[in-house]
Amino acid sequence: MLELRSLGYHPATAAAPVLEGLNLKLLTGQPALVAGRSGSGKTTLLELLSGLAEPSSGSILWNGETLKGRQRRWLCGLVFQFPERHFLGLTVGQELKLGQRRLGSERVQEVLEQVGLGALSFQQAPERLSGGQQRRLALAVQLLREPKVLLLDEPTAGLDWSVRDGVLQLIGRLSRDRVLLVVTHEPELFRGLIERGWELRDGALRPLPALRTMP
């Protein structure tokens, strides 16, 4: 279980806190989402969780143990809002094997098939892929790291409905054996798939009653 306790983020350069007093528990097999308008702090929340930024106050725990930034970077796989900005490899093959020299080709192929990219050429340049393929590739890179926590920033943004459906089905499958948190400005798309949701507004989290199916 990943837990936030009174988490706050107030960088010196911001007039008001971006996030304040957030409490949240995320469980394996129970996908969750955080919705909020542009600028509400969704990406910032994922940066804190994944160890790319340090909270100003509060703590982040895994199974009751407080985690340092380095431990969070190891535990969490973050798929960025604009994955195309973060590709480092010149080819799909390089991108998949970044930082993992010993990765077997069979494992790579298995994960590519899992994200619906089984037919992709390893020689192709990542930036030449379509938006939906780039998102799936970024997801595959994270899945190969086998993170216990998967964080998806706007996984459906900019995708047309046919690709979007595929991404949604994939999210459903992926949430079974890991902690999964989606942040999105379009929570209604996840109805029926994700039952636990909060709205981020004015730096605070409030439960989204519409998503709840149980009392």
Structure-block tokens of residue 28: 């394996």
Near Mg ion by CB under 5 A: residue from 32, 36, 41, 43: 43
Of the candidate spans 35-43, 55-63, 93-101, 117-125, the one that interacts with Mg ion by CB under 5 A turns out to be: 35-43
Of the candidate spans 42-50, 69-77, 93-101, 191-199, the one that interacts with ligand ATP by CB under 6 A turns out to be: 42-50
Q: How far is the CB of 200 from ligand ATP (least distance, A)?
A: 7
Q: Residue 44 interacts with Mg ion (CB under 5 A)? A: no
Q: How far is the CB of 38 from Mg ion (least distance, A)?
A: 7
Each residue 151-190 as x (binds ligand ATP by CB under 6 A) or -, in order, gives ----------------------------------x-----
| Surface-to-core class of residue 89, CB atoms within 10 Å of its CB (0-12 exposed, 13-18 middle, 19+ buried) | middle
- Please report, for residues 8, 56, 78, 140, 178, the alpha-carbon distance to residue 74 in angstroms, rounded to integers and kept in the order given: 22, 21, 11, 16, 14
Q: How many residues sit in the footprint of Mg ion (CB under 5 A)?
A: 3
What secondary structure does DSSP assign to 47-80, as a single string? HHHTTSS--SEEEEEETTEE--HHHHHHHEEEE-
Which of the listed partners (Mg ion, ligand ATP, none) does 175 bind, with a CB threshold of 5 to 8 Å by partner kind?
A: none
Q: End-to-end CA distance of the chain, in Å?
A: 21
| Surface-to-core class of residue 2, CB atoms within 10 Å of its CB (0-12 exposed, 13-18 middle, 19+ buried) | buried
Q: Residue 133 interacts with Mg ion (CB under 5 A)? A: no
- Using the structure block, give the residue that is written with the tokens 């989606």: 182
Instruction: Kindly give, in sequence order, each residue whose CB lies less than 8 Å from that of residue 119, ignoring residues fewer than 6 positions away.
Output: none
Residues constituting the chain: 215
Of the candidate spans 14-22, 36-44, 97-105, 173-181, the one that interacts with Mg ion by CB under 5 A turns out to be: 36-44
User: Which residues, numbered 2-21, are part of the site for ligand ATP (CB under 6 A)?
Assistant: 11, 13-14, 18
Binding residues (CB under 6 A) for ligand ATP: these are 11, 13-14, 18, 36, 38-44, 81, 185
Binding residues (CB under 5 A) for Mg ion: these are 42-43, 81
